[in-house]
Structure 1
Amino acid sequence: MMKKQSIADLRRLFENGELKEEKIKELKTDERKGVQSLVKAYEKQRQKEQELEKKFSEMSQFEHRAIQLGKKFVAGVDEAGRGPLAGPVVAAAVILPDDFKLLGLNDSKQLNEAARENYFTIIKNKAISYGVAVIDSQTIDRINIFEATKLAMRGAIQKLHVLPNHVLIDAVQLTDLPCTSESIIKGDSKSISIAAASILAKVTRDHIMREIHMEFPEYDFAANMGYGTKHHMKKLEELGATPYHRKTFAPVRNVLEKKEGATTEYL
């Protein structure tokens, strides 16, 4: 009788992808609990990969359709930072190659920080072209957040080194572009190009907020990214606004008006 392979050897073969389906089918009849655990773990991982493959294929439909219509270079555009009380709004535009594949790519909000940072590097290295634009809080206060978002998106598109033939935009309509465009609601979870842009925009903005944190650590911008957390609001009321706060946003404006009123009353 042939000696059975050890569980340690089988684990190594599974991890290295060296087992063929016939052998795995045979292992399903192995009575050892350790072997059955390995088989179940393999099947679970395989199912997860199949689901990711399916999701990636579904998220490539907008790009494939545009390419079939003769649009060689399709750019995805998204922004990060419309809602925070402090910091810039950042937009990114990305043109991915036809053979691009990154399983697990999704809306940046659905990924943890480690995954975003990893994908950030991969996307920049593999993209045909990408552009990132940053609009500061003073401009946001001057023209409003919606116009600032559109300005950032246009700026990101203009920074592309390759002129796109078609642009896929997350939920925003942009006019007078040098090519055709398409606005997709929740596009960051429906298009790989928009998802890639959301990663670049989010990670770039996070890096900026960590730099601002070094200048104003009391507000804990490295953790809250400028959003109105309980700690952030407490420090805003205690210390007032920084140059990076959006003074036209109601929570900031209310605190400033309250402080000005208290100062006037005191005088």
Structure 2
Amino acid sequence: MGKDTAVNASDDAMSFIPPSIDTARLLSGDSYAYYTPCPAGITPYDKSTTVPQTTEPTPCVLGVDEAGRGPVLGPMVYGAFYLPLELHHSLLAQEHSFDDSKVLTPAVRANLMRLINTPGENLYESCGYAIKVLSARDIGSGMMKPGAAVYNLNAQAMDATIEIIRGVLQDHAVNVQEIYIDTIGNPATYQAKLERIFPSIKITVAKKADSLYPCVSAASVAAKVTRDVALEVLYESVLKAQQLDDNSAAPEGWGSGYPSDSKCVGWLRRNMDPVFGWGSECRFSWGTAKEMLEQKGGARVDWPADDDEGNGMLSDFLLASGPGKGSSKDGLRDWFGQRQAEII
């Protein structure tokens, strides 16, 4: 596919749902990782035998980038994209015109992602990728841990990067010789840490790496498309639940999910439960969400202190005998598990 084909992306590409989308885990608020099989054009290390490998593992380059670091809604997604070193520029930059995902249109991004996942296409046969989806729930719970236990966003991002690189190296046995990464914070500090973890690999951490190195551009596209589709899946689930609850017409959407988006902020205001706030699609650690809960009408819940005298097991109550403790027909023990008609 050349530049003209990339621009003329089809509607089919826009509706493409990549295999990196795990709907069940997204809706349950779980974080997860996804890895493509090692492509046919790459010979991995042979881990199945102690006999010396007759075919040399293919020297590869790998790029890492993220999507969705700043939004208050939806996951943050990290992508790692790898391919043979000899194809790095010719396949990605020259033939398929990969670039920073932010400068590509949604249609072009979706079409590239479709080609990466379509058997028979040269991107599919020569390239592989890994995705780490960090759910809004897990991001928030990590950042809101008390005191020294706090798990800040930079640490979560670093761990996600390390996890998917290790997965490609160890689980998929890919011979990665060069790694390029878009920086988190200070590039030198970030690079030094990764070099200690992966000492045998040439690592380059740089600002704007997604526009400098084609493999990082491709990782950016994989992460961005996964994030965009994940956000759609989450919104459709929330919308369906709302329509089931009040049988209302489809409300205005939640926009991009960024705090700077007025549509997103408006959705948060309109859909805030006074006790529970929002679902697992929201990062409660973000200032936007905190302010709404604390100052815009969120109800404060004071949980009673634990009392040793009242800490009996529920099973003790259900199995108890004697007056007022389940011995009568009106007691909880006799009621529990019965059909409503039987109680009446």
TM-score of the aligned structures, taking structure 2 as reference length: 0.52
1:117 aligns with 2:110: yes
Match of 1:11 in 2: none
Structure 1 residue 128: Cα displacement: 3.4
Tell me which amino acid in the other structure corresponds to 1:85: V
Tell me which amino acid in the other structure corresponds to 1:225: S
User: Deviation digits for residues 155-208 of structure 1, max 9, x if unmatched?
Assistant: 322332214222110113252433332101100111000000000000011111
Equivalent of 1:233 in 245, 256, 265: 265
Match of 2:181 in 1: 169
Q: Choose between structure 1 and 2: higher helix proportion.
A: 1
Structure 1 residue 263: Cα displacement: 3.5
Tell me which amino acid in the other structure corresponds to 1:238: R
Match of 1:128 in 2: 127
Question: Are the structure 2 counterparts of residues 139 and 122 from structure 1 closer, same or farther at C-alpha, using a change threshold of 3 Å?
Answer: same
Question: Are the structure 2 counterparts of residues 257 and 96 from structure 1 closer, same or farther at C-alpha, using a change threshold of 3 Å?
Answer: same
User: Deviation digits for residues 58-93 of structure 1, max 9, x if unmatched?
Assistant: xxxxxxxxxxxxx92210000001010011111111
Question: Are the structure 2 counterparts of residues 158 and 227 from structure 1 closer, same or farther at C-alpha, using a change threshold of 3 Å?
Answer: same
Gap runs ≥5 in structure 1: 1-44, 46-70
Question: Are the structure 2 counterparts of residues 123 and 255 from structure 1 closer, same or farther at C-alpha, using a change threshold of 3 Å?
Answer: same
CA distance in 2 between counterparts of 1:189 and 1:83 reads 19
Tell me which amino acid in the other structure corresponds to 1:171: T
Match of 2:71 in 1: 84
> What secondary structure does 2:108 align onto?
helix
Match of 2:299 in 1: 263
Match of 2:233 in 1: 211
User: Deviation digits for residues 82-123 of structure 1, max 9, x if unmatched?
Assistant: 010011111111112323243421000101111001111233
Gap runs ≥5 in structure 2: 5-57, 118-123, 143-150, 185-189, 240-250, 273-277, 301-344
Give aligned pairs, total: 193
Question: Are the structure 2 counterparts of residues 159 and 220 from structure 1 closer, same or farther at C-alpha, using a change threshold of 3 Å?
Answer: farther
> What secondary structure does 1:245 align onto?
coil
1:183 aligns with 2:214: no
Over the residues paired in the alignment, what is the CA RMSD in angstroms?
2.4
> What secondary structure does 1:182 align onto?
strand
TM-score of the aligned structures, taking structure 1 as reference length: 0.65
> What secondary structure does 1:157 align onto?
helix
Match of 1:72 in 2: 59
CA distance in 2 between counterparts of 1:94 and 1:77 reads 7
Match of 1:108 in 2: 101
Q: Report if aligned partners of 1:219, 1:232 keep a CA contact under 8 Å in 2.
A: no
CA distance in 1 between counterparts of 2:222 and 2:126 reads 11
Structure 1 residue 220: Cα displacement: 2.3
CA distance in 1 between counterparts of 2:253 and 2:62 reads 34
CA distance in 2 between counterparts of 1:213 and 1:196 reads 26
Tell me which amino acid in the other structure corresponds to 2:223: A
CA distance in 2 between counterparts of 1:192 and 1:138 reads 32
Match of 2:11 in 1: none
Q: Report if aligned partners of 1:77, 1:94 keep a CA contact under 8 Å in 2.
A: yes
Identity %: 28
Q: Report if aligned partners of 1:132, 1:155 keep a CA contact under 8 Å in 2.
A: no
Structure 1 residue 148: Cα displacement: 2.1
